[in-house]
Structure 1
Amino acid sequence: MAQLKRTANAVWHGTGKDGDGTLTTQSATLSSVPYSYIARFGDGKGTNPEELIAAAHAGCFSMALAFMLSGAGFTPEEIKADAVLTMEGEGGGWRISAVKLTVRAKIPGIEPGKFQDLAAEAKANCPVSRVLNAEITLDAALA
């Protein structure tokens, strides 16, 4: 069985509300990127875990859809995916409750029904969808 590992590192200083930290990824695409309470729960500068999960989900879904389209004999010109992640307070903590994926794609020669089928399959089977314990909805349309 094939196996793939990716790594990331987080460093935090101070309390949860007043502290701050940095995130670094194996590829160094993120290298000591700041994150903080205000970036997570407000509009402060820096990133946050939920924003990164939304980005990962949009990217994972787009790539999964591209592979499925190619496997079905279609070459996408463009796949634009947005992910809106919802986090809700629950029992004194927080949980990711939902992700809404919206995709608009330019795919020459595909019938709308076939596109809908492949988009639903990509939503169900991309690795990020499979790891999330959240309601995932999809709004897919050809551009």
Structure 2
Amino acid sequence: MSSQHSGSAVWSGGLKDGIGSISTQTGVLKEAPYGFKARFEDGPGTNPEELIGAAHAGCYTMALSGVLGEAGMTAQKLETTAAVTLDKVDGGFAITKVHLTLLATIPGADQAKFEEAANKAKVNCPVSKLLNAEITLDAKLQA
């Protein structure tokens, strides 16, 4: 089974004074503004790193749901945040790290099985496989 989805971007102007917009095929994002200030100075709009973070958090959480099901567990709630680090490297920029933070509510879950499932999903989620960055995880099972 294969599927293809797309996103698009439009940019006008220079790096620091320009402005762009990002859209998704589904229209969930439609001409969302982005620019230098949103990326480097906490200005208004979105940026590629937060979009990658949202995509990674969503992909990981969905993958974990599947891995938990294989292990006989069903989550009541999974909450994941992906913190994406953009660093200046060798005269340019690179995404060097993604840190996943997971808070899981899984009635009756075994701690060891939960940790095994959380790490298996981290390694095997498609977005994790795509990224050439260090990916770390803090997974917490709450009662």
Mark yes or no: TM-score above 0.5. yes
Matched, 1:25 2:21: no
Q: Deviations over 1:95-138 (max 9, x none)?
A: 00011111010001110000000000000000110000000011
Q: TM-score, normalised by structure 1?
A: 0.97
SS at match of 2:54: helix
Code of the aligned partner of 2:45: G
For residues 101 and 26 of structure 2, what CA distance do their matches in structure 1 show?
27
Query: After superposition, what is the alpha-carbon deviation per residue over 1:4-40, rounded to whole angstroms, capped at 9, x for unaligned?
Result: 1001110000001100010110010000000000001
**Runs ≥4 in structure 1, deviation > 4 angstroms?**
none
> 1:3 & 1:78 partners in 2: Cα distance?
28
Please give the residue correspondences for 1:1-143 in structure 2 after superposition, counting only pairs within 5 Å.
2-143=1-142
* Secondary structure of 1:45's aligned partner: coil
Helix, strand or coil: the match of 1:55? helix
Instruction: Write the letter of the residue equivalent to 2:50.
Output: E
Identity percentage of aligned residues: 50
- Name whichever of 23-32 and 64-73 sits farther off: 64-73
Name the SS of the counterpart of 1:52 in structure 2: helix
Unpaired runs of 5+ residues, structure 1, are: none
* Separation of aligned partners in 2, 1:110 and 1:11: 46
| Residue identity opposite 2:127 in structure 1 | V
Alpha-carbon distance between aligned partners in 1 of 2:62 and 2:2, rounded to the nearest angstrom: 18
Task: Count matched residues.
Answer: 142
In 1, Cα distance between equivalents of 2:132 and 2:20: 26
